[in-house]
Amino acid sequence: MYRKHSNLNEPGNLRQRLWRYLKFERLLQAINEGTMYFPHITRMSDKWEGLLTTRTKDKLFKQEYAQYKKVESANGAVEQYEQHKDAFYINSWHMNNHESYLMWKAYGDRGCAIQTTYERLTLSLHGSQAEINGGVVNYIDYDRERLPIGNTFYSVSYKDIAYKDEKEFRLLYWKLNLPNQNLPIEEHGVKVAVDVDILIDNIYIMPVNTVDIEQLTEVIKSMSLSCGIKNSRIKE
Query: For each of the chain's 236 residues, which pLDDT tens digit applies?
Result: 999 999 999 999 999 999 999 999 999 999 999 999 999 999 988 878 888 888 998 888 888 888 878 888 888 888 888 889 999 999 999 999 999 888 888 876 778 999 999 999 999 999 999 999 999 999 999 999 999 988 999 999 999 999 999 999 999 999 999 999 999 999 899 999 999 999 999 999 987 767 888 999 999 999 999 999 999 888 65
Angle between helices 71-82 and 54-68 (to 10 degrees): 130
The enclosing H or E element of 173 equals strand 168-174
**Nearest residue to 174 via CA among 215, 132, 203:** 132
Cβ burial 182-212 (10 Å sphere, 16+ → b, else e)? ebeeeeebbbbbbebbbbbbebbbbeeeebe
CB 78 within 8 A of CB 60: yes
